[in-house]
C-alpha cells in the first residue's frame, strides 16, 4: 500500500522558490573582475535568473542541452546555476585551471551548445574556439563597459542580453531525476570523466549538508565557499546556503588571496568557510604575518585532501575556530563524511581528541559506507582493518556521462578508489588511494599524463611520477626517470621538456634519476614501492 502523501518532485527550482519567498532579502556578496564588492539579495539573483532563462529561450536552448561555464565564484555564476538547471538544461562547470587540451576535450565531450565565460578566460577560448565545434556562441560575463574586444564567434555580453529580457518566466515542471549539472573529474586513467548530477540528488545533498552534525547551517549563518563553483558545485553551498537563508559571500578570482579572504570574513561577518588545506595554510600564514585574527568565523570545513593536525590546532589555539574535516568526491556531489564529535569526545585528552579530529569523519545520512578486502568481503569497523571504501546512496553517481559502462556493482555500491579504516564509532580514516593521481592544492594532477610526456623524451627509457608531501600544496609531483643507455639528460633539461606540453602547475617539482624502476609480475611499475622509497623525500623549496 502506498502512503497518501504528495509526490512533489525534489527540484532545484523548489530551493529557488522557497528561498525567494522566505529569505528574499538575505544577501549575496561577490568579488568580480569588474567590481571588488558587488552586493545584492537572493530576490535580485532569482529575478536575474528569470531574465537569464528568457535569454536561454531566445538562444533556442533545448531541454537537456549542456551549457558550459568558465567562471569564478560570483553572483553571475550563481544566477546561471539556477537559470540553466531550472530551465531544464545542464550547467556544465568547466575548470579553467586545466590544461587547454583538457578543456577542449571536456567541452567537446559534453557537446556544449554555448559557453558562458569570465573575461579572464576569453583569450584562452579564442585560441581553442575552432576546435569547439558544438559551441554556437560565447557569452561574456560582464557589462558593456567591460566587454573586451574579442575574436570569439557570436560573442555576446551577458548584461546586455539580460537587459533585453523580461524578469517574468514560468519555470517548467521537471522530473526530479532530470540532469541539472555536469562536472568532469580527472581520474587515474585516460580522459576526464563527466559526473552528471540530478535535481533530486542536489536537493537531497543540500538537506544532508545543512544538518546539525554536518555544516549546521541556519539563517543566522554567513557562508564563504573558498571551493570553486567549477569543482563539484562549490561542495553544494550554492544550494544549501539559500535553502536555509544563510548569507553567501563569493570571493571571485581572489580565492587564493589570504588578505582578501580575511577582509571579506571580517567585513561580512562570515561564520563558516570551506576549502582545501592549501587555502587554509595560506590564510594562516597571512594572519601570522599581519598579526590579525578572525572575529566572526566559528567553523572551517576542510576537505579535498587530508587535513594536517597543525592546521586544526592553529585555528583552535590562535583564532578560536573549530576545524571540521570532510571527505567526498565529485562522484558524490561531493559529501560523504563529516567530522563532528560524539558525546564525551570533547573531554578526551588532547592527543586522542586530535587523532579523532584528523580523521575524515563519519557518514552523513544519505551515504552508506563500507570497506572491503580484495575479494570484496566486508571488513569490520574496528579502526584497524583497512580496505577499499565503497559508498551507496541517492547522491552517489552510478556511471559517467556518455559512457555505457556501469560503475556500480550488482548490489549498487560505488568503489571510491580510496582505501580506509572505519572505527567502531563510525569515523572513517583514509589511509591510501588506490589511484595514483597526485593532489596539489585540492586539484588532481594525473601521474599518467606526466609519465607519458616524460617517456616521449628521446633520452628517457622509463618514468614514474608519484606525489610527495608538500607543506603548502599537500602534495607535489616527483618525477623518477630511467635514462636510455648512454643518455645524459639532466634535471633542468627534463623539466623544460614539459613547457607548453602540460599546465605549468603540473610540472614536477623535482627529478630523480635511477637505474631501474620496480615492476609487478605483469610489468606495471610498482608505485607503492616507490612511494615507500621516497616517503621522506624533501622537495626543493619545501
**Residue 91 sits in the site that holds ligand AMP (CB under 6 A):** no
> Interface with ligand AMP by CB under 6 A: which range of 139-147, 211-219, 367-375, 416-424?
416-424
For ligand AMP (CB under 6 A), the number of binding residues is 20
CB of 95: closest distance to ligand AMP in angstroms? 10
- Residue 427 interacts with ligand AMP (CB under 6 A): yes or no: no
Among 223, 306, 367, 507, binds ligand AMP (CB under 6 A): 306
Nearer to ligand AMP, 355 or 487 (CB): 355
Four-residue CA torsion sign, 4, 10, 15, 17 = negative
104, 127 Cβ separation under 8 angstroms: no
Does 303 participate in binding ligand AMP (rule CB under 6 A)? yes
Cell 526530479 belongs to: 176
Which of 304, 388, 393, 441 lies at the binding interface for ligand AMP (CB under 6 A)? 304
Long-range pairs, 469-474, Cβ under 8 A, ≥24:
469/535, 470/440, 470/509, 470/539, 470/542, 471/281, 471/542, 472/278, 472/281, 472/282, 472/441, 472/542, 473/278, 473/440, 473/441, 474/276, 474/277, 474/278, 474/305, 474/306, 474/439, 474/440, 474/441, 474/442
Does 444 participate in catalysis according to the annotation? yes
Q: What are the cell numbers at 277?
A: 588545506
> CA distances (Å), 79 to each of 55, 141, 247, 494, in order?
12, 11, 15, 45
CB neighbour list of residue 521: distance below 8 Å, 6 or more residues apart: none
Q: Does 194 bind ligand AMP (CB under 6 A)?
A: no
169 lines the binding site for ligand AMP (CB under 6 A): no
Of 32, 117, 233, 416, the residue at the interface with ligand AMP (CB under 6 A) is 416
For residue 305, state whether it binds ligand AMP (rule: CB under 6 A).
Answer: yes
The smaller minimum CB distance to ligand AMP, of residues 433 and 491, is found at 433
In this structure, the number of other CB atoms found within 10 A of the CB of residue 540 comes to 7
| Cα–Cα nearest to 542, from 510, 500, 498, 496 | 510
Which range touches ligand AMP (CB under 6 A), out of 137-145, 301-309, 349-357, 475-483? 301-309
Taking the least distance from each CB to ligand AMP, the nearer of 152 and 437 is 437
* Contact status: 98 vs ligand AMP (CB under 6 A): no
CA dihedral 99→104→110→115, nearest 10 degrees, is 100
Q: Is 388 in the site for ligand AMP (CB under 6 A)?
A: no
- 531 forms part of the interface with ligand AMP (CB under 6 A): no
* Of positions 13, 30, 69, 185, contacts ligand AMP by CB under 6 A: 185
Q: Which of 433, 491, 501, 526 binds ligand AMP (CB under 6 A)?
A: 433
Please report the sign of the dihedral spanned by the C-alpha atoms of residue 82, residue 303, residue 268, residue 264. Answer: negative
Interface with ligand AMP includes 418 (CB under 6 A)? yes
Give the end-to-end CA distance of the chain in Å, rounded to a whole number: 64
Show the binding pattern over residues 231-270: x = contacts ligand AMP (CB under 6 A), - = does not: -x--------------------------------------
State the nearest-atom distance from the C-beta of 445 to ligand AMP, in Å: 11
185 is a catalytic site residue: yes
331 counts as catalytic: yes
Neighbours of 165 (CB within 10 A): 18
Annotated catalytic residue within 254, 370, 439, 527: 439
Q: Is 376 in the site for ligand AMP (CB under 6 A)?
A: no
Question: Looking at beta carbons only, is 29 or 305 nearer to ligand AMP?
Answer: 305
Q: How would DSSP label each residue in 147-187?
A: PPP---TTEEEHHHHHHTS-S---PPP--TTSEEEEEEE--
Which of 113, 325, 447, 449 contacts ligand AMP by CB under 6 A? 325
Beta bridge partners of 322: 299
Tell the smallest beta-carbon distance from residue 242 to ligand AMP (Å).
22
Query: How, if at all, do strands 474-483 and 335-338 pair?
Result: unpaired
**Binding-site ranges for ligand AMP (CB under 6 A):** 185, 232, 303-306, 325-330, 334, 360, 416-418, 430, 433, 444
Which residues are the active-site residues?
Answer: 185, 331, 439, 444
Amino acid at each position: 500500500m502506498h502512503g497518501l502523501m504528495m509526490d512533489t518532485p525534489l527540484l532545484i527550482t523548489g530551493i529557488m522558490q522557497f528561498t525567494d519567498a522566505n529569505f528574499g532579502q538575505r544577501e549575496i556578496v561577490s568579488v568580480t573582475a569588474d567590481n571588488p564588492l558587488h552586493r545584492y539579495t537572493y530576490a535580485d539573483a532569482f529575478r536575474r535568473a528569470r531574465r537569464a532563462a528568457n535569454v536561454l529561450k531566445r538562444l533556442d536552448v533545448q531541454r537537456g542541452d549542456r551549457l558550459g561555464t568558465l567562471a569564478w565564484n560570483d553572483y553571475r555564476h550563481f544566477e546561471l546555476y539556477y537559470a540553466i538547471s531550472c530551465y531544464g538544461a545542464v550547467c556544465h562547470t568547466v575548470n579553467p585551471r586545466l590544461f587547454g587540451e583538457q578543456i577542449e576535450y571536456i567541452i567537446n565531450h559534453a557537446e556544449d551548445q554555448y559557453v558562458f565565460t569570465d573575461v579572464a578566460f576569453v583569450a584562452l577560448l579564442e585560441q581553442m574556439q575552432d576546435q569547439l565545434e558544438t559551441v554556437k556562441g560565447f557569452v561574456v560575463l560582464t557589462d558593456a563597459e567591460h566587454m573586451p574586444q574579442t575574436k570569439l564567434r557570436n560573442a555576446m555580453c551577458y548584461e546586455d542580453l539580460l537587459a533585453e529580457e523580461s524578469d517574468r518566466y514560468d519555470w517548467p515542471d521537471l522530473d526530479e531525476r532530470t540532469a541539472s549539472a555536469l562536472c568532469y573529474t580527472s581520474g587515474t586513467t585516460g580522459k576526464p570523466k563527466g559526473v552528471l548530477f540530478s535535481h533530486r540528488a542536489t536537493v537531497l545533498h543540500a538537506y544532508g549538508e545543512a544538518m546539525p552534525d554536518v555544516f549546521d547551517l541556519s539563517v543566522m549563518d554567513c557562508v564563504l565557499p573558498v571551493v570553486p563553483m567549477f569543482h563539484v558545485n562549490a561542495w553544494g553551498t550554492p544550494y544549501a546556503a539559500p535553502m536555509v537563508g544563510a548569507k553567501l559571500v563569493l570571493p571571485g578570482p581572489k580565492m587564493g588571496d589570504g588578505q582578501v579572504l580575511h577582509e571579506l570574513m571580517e567585513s561580512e561577518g562570515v561564520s563558516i568557510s570551506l576549502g582545501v588545506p592549501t587555502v587554509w595554510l595560506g590564510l594562516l600564514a597571512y594572519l601570522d604575518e599581519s598579526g590579525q585574527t578572525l572575529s566572526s568565523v566559528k567553523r572551517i570545513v576542510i576537505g579535498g585532501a587530508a587535513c594536517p593536525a597543525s592546521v586544526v590546532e592553529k585555528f583552535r589555539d590562535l583564532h578560536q575556530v573549530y576545524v571540521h574535516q570532510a571527505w567526498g568526491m565529485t562522484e558524490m556531489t561531493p559529501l560523504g563524511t563529516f567530522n563532528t564529535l560524539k558525546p564525551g569526545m570533547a573531554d578526551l585528552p588532547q592527543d586522542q581528541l586530535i587523532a579523532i579530529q584528523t580523521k575524515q569523519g563519519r557518514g552523513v545520512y544519505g551515504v552508506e559506507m563500507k570497506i572491503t578486502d580484495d575479494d570484496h568481503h566486508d571488513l569490520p569497523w574496528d579502526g584497524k582493518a583497512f580496505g577499499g571504501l565503497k559508498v551507496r546512496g541517492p547522491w552517489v553517481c552510478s556511471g559517467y556521462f556518455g559512457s555505457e559502462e556501469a560503475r556500480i556493482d550488482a548490489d549498487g555500491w560505488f568503489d571510491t578508489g580510496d582505501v580506509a579504516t572505519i572505527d567502531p564509532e563510525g569515523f572513517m580514516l583514509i589511509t591510501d588511494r588506490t589511484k595514483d593521481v597526485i593532489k596539489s592544492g585540492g586539484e588532481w594532477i594525473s601521474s599518467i599524463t606526466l609519465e607519458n610526456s616524460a617517456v616521449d623524451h628521446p633520452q628517457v627509457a622509463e618514468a614514474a611520477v608519484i606525489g610527495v608531501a608538500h607543506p603548502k600544496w599537500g602534495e607535489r609531483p616527483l618525477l623518477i626517470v630511467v635514462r636510455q643507455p648512454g643518455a645524459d639528460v639532466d634535471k633542468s633539461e627534463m623539466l623544460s621538456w614539459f613547457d607548453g606540453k602540460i599546465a605549468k602547475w603540473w610540472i614536477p617539482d623535482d627529478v630523480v634519476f635511477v637505474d631501474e624502476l620496480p615492476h609487478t609480475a605483469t610489468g606495471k611499475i610498482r608505485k607503492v614501492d616507490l612511494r615507500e622509497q621516497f616517503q621522506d623525500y624533501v622537495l626543493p623549496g619545501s
